[in-house]
Structure formats: structure tokens, C-alpha cells
Amino acid sequence: MLKIVDLHAEAGDREILKGVNLTVEEGQTCVLFGPNGSGKSTLMATIMGYSTIKVTSGKILFKGKDITDLPVDERAKMGIGMMMQRPPNIYGVKLGDLIKASAPENGDTVIEGADKFKMENFLDREVNVGFSGGEIKRSELLQLTAQKPEFILLDEPESGVDLENIDLIGNKVHDLLYDTCPGSRRHVSSLVITHTGQIMDYIGADRGYVMKNGRIQCSGNPLELLREIKKNGYGECDACKIIKL
Ligand SMILES: Nc1ncnc2c1ncn2[C@@H]1O[C@H](COP(=O)(O)OP(=O)(O)OP(=O)(O)O)[C@@H](O)[C@H]1O
Ligand SMILES: [Mg+2]
């Protein structure tokens, strides 16, 4: 579904991604761990095609097509969606209008069900303006639900979410990734950044990657990686020694 090959990228004239290799197979949920400032959000922004990031070498392949130079809207049309860690305020645009504009087929239905995201009172507000941390996460998920992407980038979906709302977020992320019919099977692929691994209680994960200093340091079973990181931190990760790329 997604294949990243030796990707180097700069932001603000600094090389942030220093040769990233990463694969997400169709239907897989992959989790990305890594210390603060290691380049995880930059990697997601590069996959989504933000113009603030300059790819200097390497490739991003999506469904077999080279999308490295495609603009962000083309990538969205191809089926890539993203929940940002810190989305911008969009002054003058109401959340409900954004949802209708970005998802003409599905927007109205999602707006009718906004109460399930506790977002029914936010539809007439400017996007993200004055939203709390948890409200921003719910708003991002509502937008993604309308957009129905085939491949979803989730940047710390559970961070800053209170204990009551974590269930809501976890279950809505689950709904995004799975058919909700009985006997469901996973149909949407995703790459999920998490520090705590809490989101894995709701969605499970097939593979974990650890990013350090702009590179993928190791990959393997996500629960084993998380256990090692909790035990040893990122400095002396036994998992890195065992499953070195
Ligand atoms: N436009 C920019 N100009 C200069 N430096 C940048 C720019 N964008 C990102 N960086 C730097 O790149 C590094 C990686 O940032 P990034 O947001 O990708 O980290 P992260 O792994 O997501 O961290 P966290 O876990 O804290 O969210 C940081 O040191 C950040 O300051
Ligand atoms: Mg980040």
C-alpha cells in the first residue's frame, strides 16, 4: 500500500529525514514509535505532501504509484488521509462547511452523526479556533470519517485525551480502520504514531517501527517493541539489537 524508499527530506533548511525505509502492506496497521524530535510528524507530513517539506532524494510509492512529487490534494484524492498532531486554525471556515466541501458524498451523513463524536455543537465554529486538545482530536476524526481514506496517517491520536474520551477516540479510530459488520475484516491501512501505545488496545497493530534521528532504527512486533522501549528507553533498546534492520 505504502512503500518509502531511502527518503531524505528537509524542513527549514535542516535535513530531518535521513534515509527512511518503511512499508505498510494493504490492510496493515503499523505503529511508529520514537523519541520527541526524531522526525515522526515530519515523516507523516512528507507522506501527505506538505509544501513546507522538501524531499531531496528517495521515493514514496502509494498503491504502486510514485507520489513523491504530487501535491497534497492529489494525494488526498488518491485516498490518503491524516490526523495531524497540531492542525492549524482555519479562520473563516466552519467545521460543518469544511466537512461538506471535503466529502460531498458522505459529508451530510457524517454531520448528522456528529453527536456520536460529541461534535454537534462545533459544526458552526471556525475549524480548530479555540478548540481544546481533545476537541481537536475528535474534530480531526470526524473529518476523516467523512473523507473515508484508504490509507490513514494518525499522529498521536490519544495524546492529551482524557480518560473518559479515550474510549470514544479509540472506538472511532477502530471504526475507521475496520468494517463494523459482524465478521468484520480490516480494510483500511494505517500508520499510527504513539508514545504510550494506548491506541493499540483499540486497533491492534501488525508491525511496529522505531524512528531515531530521522531514520527507522528497527522494526518488529509492536507490543514487543513497546515493552522494550518502556523497559530500556530509546537509548539501549534490546529490540533494536535483536531486530536490527
Ligand atoms: N520547519 C522546520 N524548521 C526547522 N526545524 C524543523 C521544522 N520542522 C520540523 N523541524 C525539526 O525537526 C525535528 C523533528 O520534528 P518532528 O515534529 O518530526 O518530531 P516528532 O518525532 O514528531 O516529535 P514529537 O514526538 O515531539 O511529536 C525537530 O527537531 C523539529 O524542531
Ligand atoms: Mg510529532
CATH of the domain at 211: 3.40.50.300
129: in domain: no
Is residue 211 within 8 Å of residue 40, measured between CB atoms? yes
Average pLDDT over residues 227-233: 90
Average pLDDT over residues 151-155: 97
160: in domain: yes
Read off the pLDDT band of 227 (50, 70, 90): very high
**C-alpha of residue 39 to centroid of ligand 2, in Å:** 7
Distance from the first to the final alpha carbon of the chain? 20
105: in domain: no
Any ligand 1 atom below 6 A from CB of 11: yes
Number of domains in the chain: 1
Q: Is the pLDDT of residue 237 over 70?
A: no
220: in domain: yes
229: in domain: yes
231: in domain: yes
Q: Is the pLDDT of residue 238 over 90?
A: no
Higher pLDDT, 179 or 56: 56
Ligand 1, residue 42: give the atom nearest the CA. 18
Mutate to test the pocket of ligand 1, among 14, 44, 192, 211 (most ligand atoms within 8 A of CB): 14
Q: How far apart are CA 225 and CA 181, in angstroms?
A: 31
Sign of CA dihedral 231, 235, 236, 241: positive
For position 155, what pLDDT does the model report? Answer: 97
Enclosing domain of residue 65: 2-86+150-242
Any ligand 1 atom below 6 A from CB of 42: yes
Any ligand 1 atom below 6 A from CB of 71: no
Average pLDDT over residues 101-128: 92
121: in domain: no
For position 50, what pLDDT does the model report? Answer: 95
Q: Is the pLDDT of residue 192 over 60?
A: yes
Q: Is the pLDDT of residue 105 over 70?
A: yes
Q: Is the pLDDT of residue 127 over 60?
A: yes
Read off the pLDDT band of 245 (50, 70, 90): very low
136: in domain: no
Q: What Cα–Cα distance (Å) separates residue 87 from each residue in 16, 45, 112, 133, 190?
A: 20, 11, 23, 10, 19
Average pLDDT over residues 38-57: 97
Give the number of the ligand closest to the Cα of residue 11.
Answer: 1
Average pLDDT over residues 59-79: 96
